[in-house]
Amino acid sequence: MCGNATATKTITVNQAPTVPVITTSSPSSVCAGTLYQNFGTSIAPSGGVVYSWNAINATVWTTSNNGQNALISFTNPGSASVMLTATIPGISCVSTATYTVNVATSTAQISSVIYFEDHFVAMPANADFYQWGYDDKKTLDSVLLPGEINQDYLNANPDFTNKYYWVMTGLGGCNQKTYYNAPLAIQDMNRSGVTEMNMYPNPATELINVAISTSIEGTMLIEVVNMAGQKMSSTTTTDNKTIINVATFPAGSYLVSCYRNGVKIATSRFIKN
């Protein structure tokens, strides 16, 4: 006898993005200090979908322009998680894929790569294996170079405009990826971090002073190699300067390279009298 009362609420049901699948990844177990592992999905974002990469106990070093691929570094031991999230801007629906990596307490050796007389050369020469390859600069797609499994890789005309060249090495059960021309990091480094390295006296007889001018903070690795690619000296600095004793070096030219987190950020040359 009291009649009816009705209230109406309109709800819009948005279609959630398709759950992305991580089809490219590092091994599920790596050593501490394993750098620049390729992660990615075989399906590019479409229909207004945006991909983003995040990590727990790991660092998203950089991502491709469309977010389809990323490089992830694992610095500390423990369990690490890498997440790829698909979102549509303006809509709260998200879809996330997660990949778990166990990071062991063993530490992967940090190597270096030089280019000398048409050869890429991996340093030092104590690795159990070598595998050369490159990443596409735009997409970060990783390509193995078949048969290039020696310490050096001959390439008289490297394509530095479109490719990041690297070598994969193994030592004592720990694998490491080392670039010659590494992509700059989103979190660790940016293009405003211009680095210059000054050395004096040059030519040198006994001691050479190295001064690094940079806005990048942290421990720097300074390495000296001869023109044959042999490592002559290695030291670290936290105050952007160091002194290198070159008294016992044979007369000739030497390359000095500065590394931050395994990435070469500056190179210079001096002459030993």
Q: How far apart are CA 198 and CA 119, in angstroms?
A: 26
Q: Are 111 and 121 in contact (CB under 8 A)?
A: no
Is 62 a member of any domain? yes
Model pLDDT, residue 189? 36
Helix and strand numbers, DSSP H then E, in the chain: 0, 21
Residue 225 structural domain: 196-272
Assign residue 45 the CATH number of its domain: 2.60.40.10
Same domain, 207 and 159: no
Q: How far apart are CA 169 and CA 246, in angstroms?
A: 29
Is 185 a member of any domain? no
Is 116 a member of any domain? yes
Is 13 a member of any domain? no
Same domain, 103 and 33: yes
- Tens digit of pLDDT for each residue in 153-175? 999 999 999 999 999 999 999 99
Q: Identify residue 235 by its one-letter amino acid code.
A: T
Same domain, 136 and 94: no
Is 186 a member of any domain? no
Count of domains observed in the chain: 3
Three-state DSSP state, 100? strand
Model pLDDT, residue 193? 46
Same domain, 241 and 172: no
Average pLDDT, the chain: 87
SS (H, E, C) 47-67: CCCEEEEEEECCEEEEECCCC
CA angle 33, 39, 41 (to 5 degrees): 170
Is 190 a member of any domain? no
Assign residue 231 the CATH number of its domain: 2.60.40.3080
Same domain, 57 and 93: yes
Q: How far apart are CA 234 and CA 225, in angstroms?
A: 9
Q: How far apart are CA 183 and CA 180, in angstroms?
A: 10
Q: What is the dihedral of CA 162, 64, 78, 103, to 10 degrees?
A: -30
Same domain, 70 and 134: no
Is 23 a member of any domain? no
Model pLDDT, residue 18? 82
The DSSP 8-state label assigned to residue 162 in this structure reads T
Statement: residue 187 has pLDDT above 90 = no
Q: Which of 79, 107, 135 is the last residue before a domain boundary?
A: 107
Is 1 a member of any domain? no
- Residues of the chain with pLDDT > 70: what percent? 93
The CA-atom distances, in angstroms, between 117 and each of 120, 132, 181, 227 are 8, 17, 17, 9
Mean pLDDT of 132-141: 94
Statement: residue 113 has pLDDT above 50 = yes
Q: Which of 76, 107, 138 is the last residue before a domain boundary?
A: 107
Same domain, 145 and 98: no
Q: How far apart are CA 189 and CA 168, in angstroms?
A: 22
Q: Identify residue 83 by its one-letter amino acid code.
A: M
Q: Which of 91, 107, 123 is the last residue before a domain boundary?
A: 107
Model pLDDT, residue 65? 85
- Tens digit of pLDDT for each residue in 232-261? 888 888 888 899 999 999 988 888 888 776
